[in-house]
Chain A
Amino acid sequence: MNTPAKRRRFRSEPTWVPWLFLAPFLVTIAVFLAWPLIQSVLLSMQQTYGPRTTRWIGFENFTFLLGDPLFWKALRNTVVFACGSVFLQLPLSLGLAMLLNRPGLKGRAFFRLIFFAPSLVGLVFVGLMFALMFEKRTGMINVALHALFASFNPEFPWLQEYVMPALILAALWLYVGFNMIYFLAALQHVPAELMEAAALDGAGPWQRFRHVVVPEIMPVVSFVVLLSLLGSFQLFELPFILLNGPGPDNSGLTIVMYLYQMGFSANDLGYASAIGWMLALMLGTFALGQRLWMKKEEAK
């Protein structure tokens, strides 16, 4: 690598050039990331009212948070949603990707386009659409389900009593195609020779899937699971719009929605920051978990 010619080449570049090109990044990261991050540590130890009035309270925000029933409710709702994402949405995404990856299939680009389209729609707009679609008698979902299954109650109270299922369904429509793109790209990278060799060795479809496809796509699967967990735990706008708030009896309250309410309705930026750090702790745990998981996979 370090041939004299190469070293000379690097020396011929003026040293200020990369710093000039990186200046916008370095300035914005210092002002809009590092500074708020420090502030957020300090804020989490204060009780505030709006951006101006504050009072030091040490770790009280955190001890209060651990005993705050609304925080636990928000955490529970968030976990339910995350389970729906990982155990319902991702298998469906993988299934769709495998269907699209069938050799000889025509119209692959067309189907991919359709499945991907919902993820282009902003969460606000999805929330508004589904708020009307989940309406008791007039909403499309109840009308369609009642038409398909006569015994289905056309007054089914999605947004009154079945808030989490409604949320998971809306997210299903929104994200299945998005995750499918990653799975499809991974499946297309599974070497055809490997599949052929396995088939010649007499491996059936399930065995080929289990022993050839799964190990090959595992890095992408773990990446998508992580993305899905990180996204689910930051869920906010979809339920906020769909329910026009936290929902009846806070049944759709999520961690970030609680953070928003505390910071911007109750005007306690300090408590909101403490919630933010609890969230960061959880997200960090997931990221660490994924790294350990991948290390274990590689060691196999």
Chain B
Amino acid sequence: MTGDLSFSARQKLLLIPVYTLLTIAAVVTLVPFVWMTCAAFKNNADFFSSLFLPTGDGFLGIDWSRLTITNFKRLFTELSLGNALMNSFFLSSVSALLATLCSAAGGYALAKFRFAGRGVVLNLVLIALVIPGPLLMAPGYQLIYKLGLLDTYAGLILPGVAPAFGIFLFRQAAMNAIPHELLESARIDGAGELRIFFTMVLPLLRPMIGAFLMITFLGTWNNFIGPQIILQSPELFPLSVAINQLRGLYGTDYGMIMSGTLVSIAPVLALFLLLQKEFIAGLTSGAVKG
């Protein structure tokens, strides 16, 4: 007994340096977020005179009255950042929904159907997975131009409607989550193939759907180079492009730039907090199998 106790006590003692290191790393990770949030609520004079919040004789030694939401007001009135925010939401939601639906359908077909040509399609998926994006930048732009899709959302959304890595992930998920017997009995009962897909297959793929919606939403939200190349009209710009232009407009008005950045990243951080378990499970599901 005593031996056991001292063992667990020793284990606890050993955890102290672990907690210390983890806490230091966590602080280093969080400090930029805190710094940015503070900067977003300061005017330009306070940005330069205080590192985080302006000091004074208020609560916690901080002069709370000097904080301001002027930066945010100006972003939404002078700059119609609200418009860019809506653009980002629209682009990201539509891209995520389409990509998830088409990937789920394709992955399910590859996992649960035997048909001539399946091996070829599977190889196509694997080839598409390894083609580096930058290789397609120049010819992709030329194609979008020839299709007349420059400066349209279609030019951004259509190429990503059924991404290969989505097909791949959903194929893995469908192989594990959907029993053959279930499909078979549904067919015997006379259910149509589309009905089977929407009412039986999609619900069984739910965990992967959550993860993949999140992955594609984030990917589109954070995509900069796509809209930068394809869009030309400022009223179509999503946040990534619009925020980068703040630097040209408000070169040294750092509070404006940081409040714009905060507005851009807060929604995705909130979304992640809601869905994080599914997201991380989906992220690692392909990797740890091997």
Contacts and interface: CB of A to CB of B under 8 A. Distances in A.
Interface of A: 9-10, 12-15, 17-22, 24-29, 31-33, 35-37, 39-40, 43, 51, 96, 99-100, 102-105, 111-118, 120-125, 128-133, 138, 140, 143-144, 173, 177, 181-182, 185-186, 189, 219-220, 223, 230, 234, 236-237, 241, 244, 255-256, 259-260, 263-264, 269-270, 272-273, 276-277, 279-280, 283-284, 287
| Majority SS at the chain B contact face | helix
B100 to A, nearest CB: 11
| Majority SS at the chain A contact face | helix
26 contacts: A17-B193, A21-B197, A24-B162, A28-B162, A29-B124, A36-B136, A51-B142, A96-B25, A104-B11, A111-B26, A120-B218, A122-B223, A125-B243, A125-B265, A132-B39, A132-B257, A138-B254, A140-B31, A143-B51, A181-B280, A256-B134, A260-B225, A272-B137, A273-B138, A279-B134, A280-B135
Interface of B: 11-12, 14-15, 18-19, 21-22, 25-26, 28-33, 35-36, 39, 47-48, 51, 102-103, 105-106, 108-110, 113-116, 118, 121, 124-125, 128, 130-143, 145-146, 158-162, 164, 167, 180, 184, 187, 193, 197, 218, 221-225, 229, 240, 243-244, 247, 254, 257-258, 261, 264-265, 268-269, 272-273, 276, 280, 283-284, 287-288, 290
A181 B137 CA distance: 30
A285 to B, nearest CB: 12
A102 B22 CA distance: 11
Contacts of B102: 24-25
Nearest to B272: A120
Contacts of B288: 182, 185-186, 189, 220
B187 A13 contact: yes
B102 to A, nearest CB: 4
Given A21-B105, A132-B39, A185-B288, A36 B140 contact: yes
B224 A185 contact: no
Nearest to B25: A96
A51 B18 contact: no
A18, A31, A96, A273, most chain B CB atoms within 10 A: A18
B140 A22 contact: no
A187 B108 CA distance: 30
Given A117-B269, A140-B32, A280-B135, A51 B22 contact: no
Contacts of B14: 102
B222 A122 contact: yes
Contacts of A259: 134, 137-138
B139 A100 contact: no
Given A116-B280, A276-B136, 20 more contacts: A9-B184, A28-B160, A32-B143, A36-B142, A102-B15, A105-B18, A112-B280, A114-B29, A117-B269, A120-B218, A121-B222, A122-B268, A125-B240, A125-B265, A181-B283, A182-B284, A186-B288, A244-B247, A259-B138, A264-B141
Given A113-B276, A237-B224, A269-B138, A51 B287 contact: no
B51, B138, B264, B280, most chain A CB atoms within 10 A: B138
B166 to A, nearest CB: 9
Nearest to A110: B26
A104 B261 contact: no
Given A29-B128, A32-B143, A125-B265, A140 B138 contact: no
A276 B288 CA distance: 31
A115 B276 CA distance: 13
A255 B273 CA distance: 35
Contacts of A219: 290
A99 B11 contact: no
